[in-house]
Every structure is written in structure tokens, then in C-alpha cells.
Amino acid sequence: MKVLVTYYSETGNTEKLAQGIYDGIKEAKKELIKLDEVAGVDEYDVLFIGFPVKSHGVPGKMANFIKGLPKGIKIAFFSTHGSLRGGTLAITAFYEAVTLAAHLTVLGTFGCRGKVKPEIIEGLMQKAEHKAWALEAQSASDHPDSADIKDAREFAAQMITKGRTL
């Protein structure tokens, strides 16, 4: 089995999570490649695709990549976000990702908190409709942490097992 872990990261959060996922893949040939450096995907059996949640969705660069993947390929999504784990805003991004991947075999999703750029939080604190989320995002400043990375490694192992059986 050959596996690609690819990601788009702006602050290093998603890159850190990608490394944890890469480290959790055992008994498979694996590569860790930034999204902008991916030359092709035909040789891989499973792709792990990571992105930061932006405006409750998938960043455009990653959305275009997902839409361009060949039909039937097996993928697993991972993301970082400022929301609480399992929060509505983060889950909305996974709904979008899965919709973009309707022509693919989605094995699963994994999300964890990630530090949000301070200037984004500051800007959102000035808008009443976004203040509650900005306050929530402030508490993500030490994520992804060691527990998040451990969970990411376990997620990777589960997805590899699932990928072998489908």
C-alpha cells in the first residue's frame, strides 16, 4: 500500500497535524508532501488530505485539489480549526469537503483545534456577531497539542486499516 499525506497550512497547525498523521502510518510506503508540491496522485492507494478551516469551509486551493482528484480514490480528511472539537463550524467544513469528494471514497475525518492568527481574532472581536467565536478561538492557542497529535496518529492507523478492507 502506498499512502500520501498532503496538506495546506498557513500557520503551521495543519502541517504539525500532517506530521502526526504521517507518523501514525505503519506498514505502508508513505510520503508527506505540501499541497503545492503534489505532482500527481495516481500511484497512491490512500490520500490523507489536510486543511485549515477558513470561514467555516475548505480553503479554495484545497477545494480545487479535491474536485480534481480521480474518481474512486480513497481519502481521509483532517483539519485544524479554532472551534471546540466537534463544534458546528468545524463540522460544516467537513460537510463541504465530503460534498466536494462525492466522486471519491471517503474513509473518515479528523479535526482538532489550532491556534488562530491573533489579527483574525482581534478583527472578529470588534464584530458583535463574531465575538463569541473569537473568544472561543482564543482558547485554542496551545493547539494542536500532544494529545491532539496522539489522536491524529491513532486516526491514521484506523484509516489505513479501513483502506485495506475497502
pLDDT in tens, 114-127: 999 888 888 888 88
User: Of how many residues is the chain composed?
Assistant: 166
* 17's grid cell: 497535524
**Beta strands 2-7; 74-81: pairing state:** unpaired
C-alpha closest to that of 148 among 11, 24, 7, 6: 24
Cα separation, 89 vs 80, in Å, equals 11
Which ranges of 3-145 does DSSP label H, i.e. alpha helix?
Answer: 13-24, 60-67, 88-100, 118-125, 131-138
Q: What would the mean pLDDT of 4-33 be, rounded to a whole number? A: 96
Q: How far apart are the C-alpha atoms of 106 and 26, rounded to whole Å?
A: 20
Q: Give 31-90 pLDDT, tens digit per residue.
A: 999 999 999 999 999 999 999 998 889 999 999 999 999 999 999 999 999 887 777 878
Task: Note whether 10 and 53 are within 8 A (CB).
Answer: no
